[in-house]
């Protein structure tokens, strides 16, 4: 008998497992995939750590989370600074003085502020949706070229039908600072995320290629408590209907040349280009292999967003009103479920960043693991 059965070997599960083991508990971790690390999984190909489920750039303002996670890997100094490509015009992201200069030819912060203030006038009152929020933050020109197409591709919904908070993730700066995140700590684990999660899971028994629902009764019987990090609606057999998710598909290509786009991430912000972004993985580690040598090849991934359907991997919860109300019904069931804890992006249907997932799992573990 194990103290904990952890369903899902992603970040939430790994943190909980690590904390439980450190407290002397026994842990069985299962995952339906053939590997650990969930969507932060990285795989080494051509000496490049490929982020197989999309770019994961760790960033946080929470010192306790940074102190915690850096026990399991050393982090490099990568700073996310994506470039936007709008029909071949390149802009600096997030929205900063380089962006404003390119968009409007403005030179001083005051000129940029005046331009935004003038364009923002069309929004009166509290922004009701993503479109209004975006225009009120940066004006219509930037909304049209750098936000609208990208957002509609990523979410498959009109910006008027999306919640304002999604865009509040992005900083707007009247300085020449193009660090995408307002975070005190940022970086990528040296050696890849998979190795980091391996270190976190030391001492746990791990069973891969194991479908929880196919063996639920037997698996549940093995442990006192279940930590479930899969999709909450799937757990309840979609009783009230399916929650909506966005899925992402990647088209990976290995190129026989050293430099495709000169940056880890380029966002394609026009509506016409079918992919949302291209990741060039080697730049997460400055183009160097583990021995510090230049890598002659490069690997790129074109990212395509789609509506989730059964059989796809769910990536992003669609946190609009309709789904929020449906989630609340599932959450009520979850609270009544004895000896099961629901956690993580899918278990809590929440657009969590990695650091927030770690913080949530640490908190839960502190409360649960005596």
Please give the positions annotated as active site: 169, 173, 246, 277, 303, 351, 353
Q: Which is nearer to ligand UDP, 25 or 345 (CB)?
A: 345
Cβ at position 64, least distance to ligand UDP in Å: 23
| Angle, in degrees to the nearest 10, between helices 109-120 and 97-104 | 70
Where do contacts with ligand UDP occur on this chain (CB under 6 A)?
Answer: 84, 93, 146-147, 150-151, 154, 166-167, 169-170, 267, 269
Residues in CB range of 209: below 8 A, 6 or more apart: 31, 32, 33, 34
Q: Which is nearer to ligand UDP, 84 or 278 (CB)?
A: 84
Could you give the CA distance from residue 235 to residue 223 in angstroms, rounded to a whole number? 17
Q: Which long-range contacts (CB under 8 A, 24 or more apart) does 213-221 make?
A: 219/5, 219/30, 220/5
Helical spans, DSSP H, in 121-161: 130-138, 140-142, 149-155
Nearer to ligand UDP, 18 or 39 (CB): 39
- CB of 243 closer than 8 Å to CB of 327: yes
Strands (DSSP E) found in the chain: 2-7, 27-30, 42-45, 48-51, 58-60, 83-86, 89-92, 185-187, 205-207, 223-228, 245-255, 265-268, 277-280, 298-307, 316-317, 340-342
17: number of Cβ within 10 Å: 28
Instruction: Tell me the backbone φ, ψ of residue 89, rounded to 5 degrees.
Output: -85, 130
Least Cβ distance, residue 4 to ligand UDP (angstroms): 29
Separation CA 197–CA 186 (nearest Å): 18
Tokens standing for residue 153? 């591709």
Strand 245-255 with 58-60, pairing: unpaired
- Cα distance between residue 259 and residue 287, in whole Å: 9
279: closest CA among 307, 256, 251, 308? 251
Using the minimum distance from each CB to ligand UDP, give the nearer residue, 229 or 269. Answer: 269
Q: How far is the CB of 181 from ligand UDP (least distance, A)?
A: 9
In whole angstroms, the minimum distance from the beta carbon of 144 to ligand UDP comes to 11
Nearer to ligand UDP, 210 or 261 (CB): 261
| Residue nearer to ligand UDP on the CB measure, 166 or 326 | 166
Between residues 166 and 204, which has the closer beta carbon with respect to ligand UDP? 166
Question: Coil, helix or strand for 205?
Answer: strand
- Which one, of 141, 14, 130, lies nearest residue 72 by Cα? 14
């Amino acid at each position: 008998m194990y103290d904990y059965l952890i369903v899902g070997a992603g970040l939430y599960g790994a943190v909980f497992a690590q904390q439980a083991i450190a407290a002397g508990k026994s842990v069985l971790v299962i995952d339906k995939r053939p590997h650990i690390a969930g969507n932060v999984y990285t795989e080494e190909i051509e000496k490049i750590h490929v982020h197989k489920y999309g770019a994961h750039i760790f960033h946080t303002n929470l010192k306790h989370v940074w102190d915690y996670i850096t026990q399991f890997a050393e982090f490099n100094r990568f700073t996310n600074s994506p470039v936007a490509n709008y029909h071949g015009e390149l802009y600096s992201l997030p929205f900063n003085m380089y962006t404003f200069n390119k968009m409007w030819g403005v030179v001083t912060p005051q000129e940029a502020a005046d331009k935004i203030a003038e364009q923002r006038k069309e929004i009166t009152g509290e922004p009701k949706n993503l479109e209004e929020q975006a225009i009120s933050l940066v004006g219509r020109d930037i909304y049209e070229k750098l936000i609208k197409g990208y957002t509609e591709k990523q979410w498959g919904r009109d910006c008027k039908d999306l919640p304002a908070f999604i865009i509040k993730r992005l900083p707007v700066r009247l300085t020449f600072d193009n660090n995408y995140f307002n975070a005190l700590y940022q970086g990528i684990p040296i050696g890849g995320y998979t190795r980091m999660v391996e270190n976190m899971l030391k001492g746990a028994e791990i069973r891969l290629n194991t479908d929880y629902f196919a063996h639920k009764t037997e698996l549940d019987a093995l442990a006192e408590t279940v930590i479930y990090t899969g999709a909450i609606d799937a757990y309840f057999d979609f009783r009230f209907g399916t929650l909506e998710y966005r899925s992402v598909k990647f088209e990976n290509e290995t190129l026989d040349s050293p430099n495709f786009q000169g940056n880890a991430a380029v966002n394609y912000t026009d509506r016409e280009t079918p992919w949302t972004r291209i990741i060039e993985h080697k730049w997460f580690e400055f183009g160097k292999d583990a021995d510090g040598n230049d890598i002659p090849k490069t690997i790129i991934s074109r990212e395509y967003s789609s509506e989730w359907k059964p059989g796809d991997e769910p990536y992003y919860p669609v946190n609009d009103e309709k789904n929020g109300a449906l989630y609340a019904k599932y959450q009520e069931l979850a609270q009544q479920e004895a000896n099961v804890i629901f956690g993580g992006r899918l278990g809590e249907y929440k657009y969590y960043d990695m650091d927030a997932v770690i913080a949530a799992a640490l908190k839960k573990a502190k409360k649960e693991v005596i």
